[in-house]
């Protein structure tokens, strides 16, 4: 007859210990119930315990608080996550969206920098890391659905810049599609993600699966702001490393601030070279006719000149020249 110490048998009966393959064979001999059945019972019980443990996560107060921190209603309205009124379903949907299994895993990735897989990031210094992380994640989801025609290289991007600047000058209605196509050809993924409240970002760039990804938003809806932000990100790609993510609304180290300034300089010079800007300011003619003529001369859009002069404080932000700025809708 099979004998097992009473303590071990009690542990099995109370669920404190598992039935091992050796035990299952011994039980088969004594009970005439197959070892496979005993092991299946153990497997089913283990699964039941795992699911119970999983369900307890959804009832955890800290996890509930974490889920409530996201602009879930806006995310659902944009189709990023399913609509739901259930607190539990909201947590599950957020886990699915961020591809994490716990709120701590989200924190490790977006706050603690413990998972440095695709890029370095910490949103600890942003005003609302929840909204910003949602915006970033949606960009990553969209980038995952895109492919590029060629591997990225600096030379190809530099050769494509005149074609990009032609879109700036002409501002065609289909500029988003044409810009995405140019980017695809030089190995860049370009995605457009709706602005959400508390994520004060015009754009960002990071490397995803070996390709640079530029993510743009419709926050300002002005063509001068869009193009400056876009060429700012192009500057980061050409000037800076693959392992950084450049994002607004973050407290910056001296090194990152320097890189941001370098990207600003690149964008400014690409859209309106500094000698041209100096010539404009020195002429002191800020009439509509003069600005349109200057835009044609320097192969840029009048809005770029208006925006630059406003930034420099040469003309007011409420100037009648704002009529030269084109309203853009990235999602029309």
Residues in the chain: 332
pLDDT value for 68:
95
Helix (H, G, I), strand (E, B) or coil at 238: helix
Measure the CA–CA gap between 302 and 329, rounded to whole angstroms: 18
Residues 6+ apart with CB under 8 A from 279: none
Give the model's confidence band at 255: pLDDT under 50 very low, under 70 low, under 90 confident, else very high: low
Position 154 pLDDT exceeds 90 = yes
Q: What is the pLDDT of residues 19-57, one digit of tens each?
A: 888 888 888 887 888 989 888 888 888 777 777 777 778
Q: How confident is the model at residue 267 (pLDDT cuts 50, 70, 90)?
A: very high
Domain ranges (residues) in the chain: 6-58, 150-332
With 0.85 as the threshold, say if the pTM is over it.
no
CATH fold for domain 6-58? 434 Repressor (Amino-terminal Domain) (1.10.260)
List, for residues 181-215, the tens digit of each pLDDT value. Answer: 999 999 999 999 999 988 878 888 888 888 999 99
Res 76 pLDDT > 90? yes
Residue 273, pLDDT above cutoff 70: yes
4: pLDDT confidence band, cut at 50, 70 and 90?
low
pLDDT band at 58 (very low <50, low <70, confident <90, very high): confident
14 confidence band (pLDDT: 50, 70, 90): confident
Determine the pLDDT at residue 116. 41
The predicted-structure confidence for 279-293, as pLDDT tens digits, reads as follows 988 888 999 999 999
pLDDT greater than 70 at residue 235: yes
CA distance 100 to 97: 8
CA 264/CA 221 separation, integer angstroms? 19
Q: What pLDDT sits at residue 146? A: 93
When comparing pLDDT for 66 and 197, which is higher? 66
pLDDT of residue 125: 58
In this predicted model, which residue has the larger pLDDT, 123 or 219? 219
Mean pLDDT for 205-228 is 90
Give CA–CA dist 108/114, Å, rounded. 5
Q: What are the b/e assignments for 191-220, b being 16+ CB within 10 Å?
A: bbbbbbebbbbbbbbbbbeebbbbbbbbbb
**pLDDT top residue among 246 and 51:** 51
Here the tokens at position 314 are 């040469």
Higher-pLDDT residue of 244 and 137 is: 137
- 115: pLDDT strictly greater than 50: no
Here the tokens at position 201 are 């970002």
Is the pLDDT score of 118 beyond 50? no
């Amino acid at each position: 007859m099979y004998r097992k110490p009473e303590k071990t048998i009690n542990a099995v009966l109370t669920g404190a210990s598992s039935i091992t393959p050796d035990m299952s064979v011994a039980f088969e001999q004594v009970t005439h119930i197959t070892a496979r059945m005993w092991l299946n019972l153990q497997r089913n019980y283990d699964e039941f315990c795992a699911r119970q443990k999983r369900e307890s996560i959804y009832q955890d107060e800290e996890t509930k608080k974490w889920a409530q921190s996201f602009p879930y209603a806006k995310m659902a309205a944009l189709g990023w996550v399913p609509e739901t009124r259930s607190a539990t379903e909201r947590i599950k949907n957020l886990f699915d969206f961020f591809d994490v299994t716990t709120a701590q895993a989200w924190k490790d990735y977006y706050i603690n920098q413990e998972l440095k897989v695709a890029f370095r990031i910490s949103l600890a210094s942003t005003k609302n890391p929840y909204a910003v992380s949602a915006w970033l994640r949606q960009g990553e989801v969209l980038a995952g659905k895109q492919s590029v025609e060629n591997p990225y290289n600096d030379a190809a991007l530099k050769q494509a810049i005149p074609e990009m600047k032609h879109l700036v000058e002409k501002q065609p209605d289909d500029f988003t599609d044409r810009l995405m196509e140019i980017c695809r050809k030089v190995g860049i993924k370009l995605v457009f993600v709706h602005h959400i409240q508390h994520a004060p970002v015009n754009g960002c760039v990071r490397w995803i699966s070996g390709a640079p990804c530029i993510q743009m938003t419709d926050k300002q809806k002005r063509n001068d702001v869009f193009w400056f932000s876009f060429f700012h990100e192009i500057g980061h790609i050409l000037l800076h490393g693959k392992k950084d993510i450049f994002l607004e609304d973050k407290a910056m180290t001296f090194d990152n601030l320097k890189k941001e300034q370098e990207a600003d300089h690149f964008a400014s010079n690409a859209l309106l070279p500094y000698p041209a800007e100096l010539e404009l300011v020195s002429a002191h003619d800020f009439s509509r006719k003069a600005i349109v003529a200057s835009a044609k001369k320097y192969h840029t859009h009048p809005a770029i000149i208006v925006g630059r002069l406003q930034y420099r404080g040469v003309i007011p932000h409420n100037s009648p020249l704002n009529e030269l700025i084109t309203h853009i809708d990235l999602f029309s």
